[in-house]
Amino acid sequence: MPDIVLVPNGETIPLAPTASSFAYGFGLFETMRYVDGRLFFWKDHWARLAKSAKHFALALPKEEAALAALRDFVVKTKLTEGALKLSLLKDTEGSCLYVYSRPPIPSPATNTLILNTASPICPRSLLAGHKTHNYMEVMHLLSLARAQTYYDCLRLDTNGYLAETATSNLFFLKDGRLHTPALDTGILPGVTRAALLRDRDLQIVEGHFAPEALHEAEAVFVTNATSGLKIIERIDGFSAGQSAQYLVASEALSAIQSALLSAQESCALSLI
């Protein structure tokens, strides 16, 4: 059974430079929203981690052991709110699960995206669809977008279809229907995305969409586990320097936000 190591804020852990986790970033992670004793979308996070661990032949502790470690961590650190994190790293022998946290990261005030066509996602990559510690590419793209005062960058796949941002899944409202890129574009199967897809009332269309589809969209938003839902007002970077503007408030958007809040409440797990 792999070891589980708690890493309270301010503490450090030794990593052997010969270990694959240190040398090659061989590992998986999950970032989970935690507020006042409640952990959101635990089952989704654990299922994704377990699926990826199997894919990369990384031994994973039992779910009950991981939950017990998370409880010990929040009690020991007296954590009330933040992002709880799990990292499953390949060691020199076997693997190890690390439990740690970070405070909430302030979201940029801007709600605009920049379309990035230069760095497409390869759906056939072995890493596509997995939350790995090989995050250098997306964090670099995010930093470039933030340096230009954008919230994030919007990426395509290698077939030219809409994919995701560096940190979030994409949704857009067109002709009264919600649309989101299909998983086979190489995107991460986000837990917030999955929660919205489970809501049958929303009738979300998954598919392959050209960037031009966003010219006809009424509203656009992105989602991730810690930030929830972020409404996008404008996307820059289309051909010929074009931009697209979107609604930031509507009855449909309010209904989607309410559906997400309901999903969060129904999937909240009391840790303490």
Question: Following DSSP, what letter does each residue of 148-179 receive, concatenated?
Answer: TT-SEEEEEETTS-EEEESSSEEEEEETTEEE
| Domain ranges within the chain, ordered by starting residue | 3-102, 112-266
Instruction: Read off the pLDDT of residues 68-124 as tens digits, 9 standing for 90 and up.
Output: 999 999 999 999 999 999 999 999 889 999 999 998 777 788 999 999 999 999 999
Q: Which CATH number fits domain 3-102: 3.40.718.10, 3.40.710.10, 1.10.3720.10, 3.30.470.10?
A: 3.30.470.10
Structure tokens at 17: 């430079």
Q: Which CATH number fits domain 112-266: 3.40.50.300, 3.40.50.1100, 3.40.720.10, 3.20.10.10?
A: 3.20.10.10
Measured CA distances, 187 to 206, 208, 225, 230, 259 (Å): 12, 12, 15, 18, 23
Instruction: Read off the pLDDT of residues 10-33 as tens digits, 9 standing for 90 and up.
Output: 899 999 999 999 999 999 999 999
Alpha-carbon distance 227 to 143, whole Å?
A: 17
State pTM to two decimals. Answer: 0.95
